[in-house]
Structure 1
Amino acid sequence: MSRIKDFLGLIRPINTVGVVIAVILGSLISGGFDFYISIICIISAFTAAAGGMVENDIVDLEIDKINAPERAIPSGRVPKNHAIIFMIILFAISQSIIFFTNWLSIFIITTGNILIVLYSLKLKKLGFIGNLIVGITTGYCFLLGGASFAGGASIINLTRFPVYITAPSLIRVIFPSVSAFLMNVGREITKGIDDLKGDKEKGIKTLAVVLGPKKSRYFAISFYVATIIFSVVPYLLGYFTIIYLLIAILGVDTLLGYSIYSLLKDYSSKNAHKIKKIVMFGFYIGFFAFLLGIPFF
């Protein structure tokens, strides 16, 4: 039983469940839910994210032996070769089952899996490029959900079981995807300020490492400002109702505004740690803003 618990710990269940929620929301925002394609996309996204978590622990093994020896792989509770096999199985499930869906979903998962693998192997150490990859893959979760419902029929002619809550629209799901990208890139830069000491030891060239926390905070702030400006676009273009706009402004934008003000005053690691949590809370409020702001039938 403890062995199972160790393997489950490798996939970071809380993080991977967040991926599942994003895909479901993407599907609902695009118009509904398909009990065939949407569920396959959820499983594919979950196993892709889980594979990425395991890969990250494998790549960071030598560092974790020093900084986090209690983790499953460095402690020996999960042998490295077993972790590698587990990772391969997860990515294999993700990539194989997606071929039972449509071409757009296949494209999103395939490119997403490539980015996830490259992120842990190389891109994470490139700092800002790694931040962009995190933002892209986060936005991909919503796009995948939208593609599962409004992205066309499956390439294998099997019966679909769609439930409609509004008229299907793939364009509608682009808005939460862009918002997720902007907000998460800003959060990743803020996280770099928080993790400055550890990232220096790991050789990760975050903006905080390269430019220092004082200058790097302005990059984070610029993405938060862009998120606030973009938040009115879905309403102005008529894709979401006034309910969305009110929640976005009073919930998400207010928290981002506070985060900007706080970072301008204090760019310490301690404050950055607080801000990244606030931004994540705003991210989840954004979920509900988009969901409740759908123009239902």
Structure 2
Amino acid sequence: MSAAAFIRITRPHNAVVAGLTALIGYLIATGTLTPPSLLLAVIVALITAGGNVINDVCDVDIDRINRPDRPIPAGEISLGGARAYAAALFIAGIAIAALTPPLCLAIAVINSSILVAYAVRLKRIPVLGNGAVAYLTASVFLFGGAFAGIEGLVRNLSLAAITFLATIARELLKDAEDVDGDAAGGARTLPMIVGVQRTGIFAFACACGAVVVSLLPSGDWWGLLYLAGIAVVDLVILFGAFRGLRCTTPGCVRESGATSILRMGMFAALAVFAIAAVI
């Protein structure tokens, strides 16, 4: 077992970005950052890392075929060692969350449980797995806001809802891209049940829902400047979802770049909310 393997299995870039996102959630809720709020980044990074490790534990058989270079199939970390490591990361994250408001602690415990459930079972259930990913992505903003109390959480509800709906749209289109590979791996996704075209319609409907939520009055920053910025974001989200809506085959969805465009739209929405909160 090497130290490098223990770092690599956590997908550190992914964990750090998630931690920084929690800080942005606090910034949006309060308009500022404080030294204690740095705990948010540490907690989210640890729990995200734990989720990444337990995901590799549950996918070890698939990774032996598709990703033999990953630490567990490569023999750099034993299966038992990875399980213990995941548990330690979750425990550390929750222990630090105990130093934060009860609302933050509750979200940390719930999200840790969902990450384990997703790795073990939920990812294999159509729509429910997509919903779990969408919730986990959106809840980082709720976690950041909750550090400022229930009022902070409420201030972040709009961004969380936009993120939830846009993430579902993106996850469904990602499934549409991967129909061939998922079929070969024995997975069961929504596009495999209802087809790529109907999945695109559902994804577009979710994107439209995100746009509607973005225009609802929310927060002290809601006004002409916010609406001007979010209108651009909404056009990007709708454009991405529309690109997927036109497709009837997995290859078409891949070539459309719909999932990448939706990801850009989500990052742009985050930027608009952050800027609106501090000016």
TM-score (norm 2): 0.92
Tell me if structure 1 keeps the 8 A contact 2:51–2:115: yes
Assess if the C-alpha contact under 8 Å between 2:179 and 2:192 holds in 1. Answer: yes
The answer to whether residue 242 in structure 2 is matched with residue 261 in structure 1 is yes
Which of 172, 183, 193 aligns to 1:189? It is: 172
What letter is aligned with 1:178?
A
Q: State the Cα distance separating 1:278 from its structure 2 match.
A: 1.3
Structure 2 unaligned blocks of 5 or more: none
Number of the residue aligned with 1:293: 276
Given that residues 241 and 295 in structure 1 are in contact (C-alpha distance below 8 angstroms), is that contact kept between their aligned partners in structure 2?
no
Paired residue total: 276
> Which residue type is aligned with residue 242 of structure 1?
L
Tell me by how many angstroms 1:222 deviates. 0.9
Q: Residue 91 of structure 1: CA displacement?
A: 0.6
Q: Kindly state the Cα deviation for residue 200 of structure 1 after the two structures are TM-superposed.
A: 2.2
User: Alpha-carbon deviation of 1:238?
Assistant: 5.1
Question: Over aligned residues, Cα RMSD in angstroms?
Answer: 1.9
Structure 1 runs of 4+ aligned residues shifted over 4 Å read none
Contact 1:240–1:295 under 8 Å retained in 2: no
Correspondence for 1:246 among 219, 228, 231: 228
1:200-251 alpha-carbon deviations (Å, 9 max, x no partner)? 233332211221212111111111111111111145x75434333222211x
Task: Check the 8 A contact 1:172/1:239 in 2, yes or no.
Answer: no
Could you say which residue in structure 2 is the equivalent of 1:14? 13
Task: State the 1:169 CA deviation.
Answer: 4.2
The residue matched to 1:57 in structure 2 has which SS?
Answer: helix
Q: Deviations over 1:67-117 (max 9, x none)?
A: 221222112122222212211111111111111111110111111111111
Distance 1:257 1:201, change over 3 A: same
1:258 CA displacement? 1.5
- 1:95 is aligned to 2:94: yes
1:1-297 correspondence to structure 2 within 5 Å:
3-31=2-30, 32-36=32-36, 38-148=37-147, 150-151=148-149, 169-234=152-217, 239-250=221-232, 252-273=233-254, 274-294=257-277, 296=279
Q: Hey, what's the Cα distance between the residues in 2 that align with 1:175 and 1:243?
A: 17
Task: Indicate how the Cα distance of structure 1 residues 61 and 5 shifts in structure 2: closer, same or farther if over 3 A, else same.
Answer: same
SS at match of 1:100: coil
Change (3 A) 1:170 1:120: closer
- 1:266 to partner: Cα distance: 2.3
In structure 2, distance between residues paired with 1:256 and 1:292: 19
Unpaired runs of at least 5, structure 1: 153-167
How many percent of aligned residue pairs carry the same amino acid?
Answer: 26
CA distance in 1, matches of 2:220, 2:35: 28
**Structure 1 pair 135–82 and aligned structure 2 pair: CA distance change class (3 A):** same
Matched position secondary structure for 2:33: strand
Using the alignment, how far apart are the partners of 1:64 and 1:234 within structure 2? Answer: 46
Contact 2:28–2:273 under 8 Å retained in 1 = yes
TM-score of the aligned structures, taking structure 1 as reference length: 0.87
Moved more, 42-51 or 256-265: 256-265
CA drift at 1:295: 6.2
Is the 2:226–2:272 Cα contact (8 Å) retained in structure 1? yes
Counterpart CA distance in 2 for 1:189 and 1:241 is 32
